[in-house]
Structure 1
Amino acid sequence: MKFMMVVKATKDSEEGKMPSQELIDAMARYNEELVRAGVLLAAEGLHPTSNAIQISYPEPNKKPIVTDGPFTEAKELIAGFTLIEVKSKEEAIEWAMRMPDPHGYGQGQIELRQVFEASELTDDETALAKEKQLRETIASKPKA
């Protein structure tokens, strides 16, 4: 089962304030634990929305609308994510509970979301085979 730990943005992260060295070190130790346990798939921080672009689809079959950041609702924004693959929801919660406060200062908030598996989205064998082939191609591609 894959889960994404979505780190919510704060006023500080949206202002581009960098984390303290203490927090960077704590997150590095946490990520090392995830790697040693063999569950880490990805972990990244995101630039503030002042550098972002939003693409919305307000009408079906119409051209999407492109909007430059920043975006104002910080509580709805994300500042980073960690993607893990574990055996159960309970294990995902355990890992999420071990993450250091992602912003420090008691401002951090993590949303834990399960990632859909292709088989949960369709039972079409052709589509599932294409998805499997795509993932295998991605996995074998040399890293840039």
Structure 2
Amino acid sequence: MKHMLIMRATQTAADAYAETDFEAVINAMGAYNESMINAGVLVAGDGLAPEPGYVVDFNGEAPVVSDGPYGEIHELFNGFWIVQTATAEEALEWAKRAPLTRGSKLEVRRVTDESDFADFADNEYIEKEKGWRADQAQ
């Protein structure tokens, strides 16, 4: 099963990060990524730049675009990893090893798969998605 590990910040984390040597951050993240690659669990992952960013708000009749990502630091999504593990517990173990600063948070979410849509197996787009995924894998 796949899980997404979503990096989130708090003001405490931002302050700690500001006091950390950037090369040390690169080295710690590199070693963590390498350990996941060597274990065969890393599917994807990237950090996200703070700017430019936008929010598309669907609260009204038409979507409204504003500069983003958000106003408050605790709402920032700073990056992610997608890991393929046998269990949720294994994904949590990898999450606990992340070299993040004090105040950081990792949200761990299961990525949906075909079993989540079993009741709709004959849906045109469920079938198309299987083909799209096969094409992307090549």
- Give the direction of change, closer, same or farther, for the CA distance of 1:57–1:46 in structure 2 (3 Å limit): same
Q: Secondary structure at the match of 1:95?
A: helix
1:124 aligns with 2:121: yes
1:136 aligns with 2:137: no
Structure 1 CA distance, aligned partners of 2:63 and 2:44?
A: 29
Identity of aligned residues (%): 35
- Give the direction of change, closer, same or farther, for the CA distance of 1:84–1:77 in structure 2 (3 Å limit): same
- Give the direction of change, closer, same or farther, for the CA distance of 1:33–1:54 in structure 2 (3 Å limit): same
Aligned to 1:96: 95
State the superposition RMSD in angstroms: 2.3
Q: Secondary structure at the match of 1:120?
A: helix
1:7–1:110 CA contact under 8 A, matched in 2: yes
Q: TM (normalized to structure 1)?
A: 0.81
1:76 aligns with 2:75: yes
User: Can you give the 5+ residue segments of structure 1 that lack an aligned partner in the other structure?
Assistant: none
User: Can you give the 5+ residue segments of structure 2 that lack an aligned partner in the other structure?
Assistant: none
Structure 2 CA distance, aligned partners of 1:74 and 1:132?
A: 37
Deviates more, 1:4-13 or 1:127-136: 4-13
2:9 is aligned with what amino acid?
A
Query: Which aligned runs of 4 or more in structure 1 are off by greater than 2 angstroms?
Result: 9-13, 121-129
Aligned to 1:36: 38
- Give the direction of change, closer, same or farther, for the CA distance of 1:42–1:99 in structure 2 (3 Å limit): same
Structure 1 CA distance, aligned partners of 2:99 and 2:69?
A: 27
Q: TM (normalized to structure 2)?
A: 0.84
